Structure 1
Amino acid sequence: MEHNQNTSYETNVVMAEQTATVEENNMAMPTRECVVCLIAQPEQEFYPTYSTTCQHMYRYICNSCTYYSVKVILDSAISSQVSCPETNCPAKWSSNEVRQVLLVNNDHLLLNKYDANLIRQFLESDDNFFWCAHGCGSGQYDYTISIRNSKMTCIACKKDTCVFHRVKWHEGMTCDQYEQWYPSTDAMTRQWIQTYTKKCPGCQCNIEKNGGCNLMTCKKCGRQFTWDNLFSYTPLTNYWYTSHQYDRGGTINYNTLANHTHVRHEMNHRPHRKGKLASLLRLLKF
């Protein structure tokens, strides 16, 4: 019995010493505060630098928030272009660098979507590639783009598309007759575009706003901007607030920002960190 008690005592002592050692190591571990989530985290959460084109020596956005930034870009737009979220870093990440972020976080679903978007954008960059005008989702190459009255038959749905006008085939009409028959329609379309759309500040394509909030995402280039004033901002900013939280002068409404659960907790329980909110301004890239 005495031997068992001694063994139990020694085991407890060893466990206590191991616990103390772990706690001491944790206390001694260098940390860094992420400028997005405002949480002090181990230094390894800020390594490595994801891109060789990045111009900063150190990272101040943790791995989790960096991944979230990439996820917002790829989830909310049909864009495959990802920029470094670090302040004042103009680096554009390569496809392999974006894939690395997704693979490290085991997001294979988003990785597949990203690869599909890369293929789509590559195809659409070629003037000789055409989507079927009937909306079946199929597309193919046709090298008669400059020839009027050229008809492309879809390999999927077998329906015809006018290659010159990129519309459903105008059965019984030549391209000249089609243009003569629908001139007023074209003029009305141009007037409607001028009245009800705005140009993306990134790629200059026309975008229509048919509801929802003031935040817009261009489906062609992925640029995010506010509809009223066409201010561009980084997708990482959406982690904290939406475009509703801008006042009419284009400045940040701190009262709305403070409604975020994490920020409200920080301000109520650690008021000395209230000034840290100002660091969020550095994330804006107008």
Structure 2
Amino acid sequence: MGASYSTATCTICIETHCTSEFKAVTKKCKHPTTTCQTCVNRHIEAELNNKGNFEIPCLIDSCKQTMDYNDIENIARKEVMARYDRMLVNVALGGDPNFRWCKNTKCGSGQIHSSGHNEPIMRCEACGQKSCYTHDVLWHTDLTCSQYDEIIKKEEAATQDLLNRETKACPKCGIRITKNGGCNHMTCRISSCKYEFCWLCLADYNLIRKNGNQYHRKTCQHYA
């Protein structure tokens, strides 16, 4: 007859496994081990991939313990552990002021560009994508960094000019409001504000309604 072995049921997947599949999630856990290694691996992956969380909590809500590096290394599959190590390295490198992430959305790599602003063109060592170290964007082909700065300044000035011409700030809450035709009696669209004012002179329409058009500013066409 073959050797007998003991089994247990995982409280997460409700499947029966050999007891060797059950390991304490952390060395600090004081409760019985009730989750299989497969479920713990899925838990680690979910915390890393979905939450970007490096402090992996125990699956038992009442436990409140978190897994340290050795705990994860003791349980995680090879590919999960490799991803955890890569993420730790990226976090460490991310603290270096010369570090930049690759701008290729499909890459996910990053590197230190030690030559900095003196040589702003970066080429990703993983995928070859070129990016600008100075502006932290895809490389602006046919434009120097100074030329790119000028374009950005012009775009920002044009945007501000458009805001000044087409919108005004509510005198009460400050939210920008666009006038789409109609009369100059405006009501703020923010439900918690609903301030009423004159589009031309920003006068309070409650005072105008109560006291007449002399409460418009004297420079306003509605002043009387």
TM-score by length of 2: 0.48
Structure number with the bigger relative contact order (C-alpha 8 A, sep ≥ 6) is: 1
TM-score by length of 1: 0.39
Larger radius of gyration: 2
